[in-house]
Amino acid sequence: MRNVSVKIFESVIDLLSVNALNQSPDETGGVLVGTRSCTDDLLEYNILGAVGISSFNEFKDIYNATATEFTCTDRMGWAKLALKAVEIYGMSYIGDWHSHPKSNFNNLSPKDISHILQQYELRQFNPFPPLHVLLSWPLGSERVSITANIMLHNNVIAVIKPQIIE
Ligand SMILES: [Zn+2]
């Protein structure tokens, strides 16, 4: 089995956290950009930029956000959001993110898993497996924790705490 490494800029953690806390108590989400590489032994992701969908008025009709769910309702719209992030940062679209506000549940929900599995089956990021970053924080706190979830095989997900890039 390949080793998986996920690194992230601290500025991206800050951007995601502020964005997610601003939308609380509703969930929110967006896309990730950066670089990746993949050899037989190692799969590496560097998350170097991100956007939150709530920052763009033009995308307000392509998702539903409640306290327990964040769902994209328009696949083409999501692709346009990804393109927007690629334009802003000049880097590749490498994955998605969303938040679980006021929750001790810092794992993907069954519905989240079916979404990332669908990306895997559609080979959406081929030859790379889909990457999904989840932000969560408990009720009464604003200490956001972050996990990177990578769908390696059908239903086999690597869950990693991203390393901050120095
Ligand atoms: Zn979720």
**18 C-alpha vs ligand 1 centroid, how far in Å?**
18
pLDDT digits (tens, 9 = 90+) for 7-48: 999 999 999 999 999 999 999 999 999 999 998 889 999 999
Q: What integer pLDDT is reported at residue 36 of this predicted model?
A: 96
Asked whether 97 and 31 are in contact (CB, 8 A), the reply is yes
- Beta strand pairing call for 42-52 and 3-8: parallel
**165 C-alpha vs ligand 1 centroid, how far in Å?**
26
**101 C-alpha vs ligand 1 centroid, how far in Å?**
10
**40 C-alpha vs ligand 1 centroid, how far in Å?**
30
Q: What integer pLDDT is reported at residue 63 of this predicted model?
A: 97
Distance (Å, rounded) from C-alpha 18 to C-alpha 93? 21
Distance (Å, rounded) from C-alpha 139 to C-alpha 107? 16
Q: What integer pLDDT is reported at residue 132 of this predicted model?
A: 98
Residue 154: other Cβ atoms inside 10 A: 8
Asked whether 160 and 150 are in contact (CB, 8 A), the reply is yes
**DSSP tag of 131:** E
**43 C-alpha vs ligand 1 centroid, how far in Å?**
24
**108 C-alpha vs ligand 1 centroid, how far in Å?**
5
**115 C-alpha vs ligand 1 centroid, how far in Å?**
10
CA pseudo-torsion sign 102, 31, 60, 58: positive
**111 C-alpha vs ligand 1 centroid, how far in Å?**
7
Q: Report the Cα 127 to chain-centroid distance in Å.
A: 18
Which domains are assigned to the chain? 3-164 (3.40.140.10)
Q: What integer pLDDT is reported at residue 1 of this predicted model?
A: 60
**56 C-alpha vs ligand 1 centroid, how far in Å?**
21
Distance (Å, rounded) from C-alpha 68 to C-alpha 139? 13
Low-confidence residues of the chain, pLDDT below 50? Answer: none
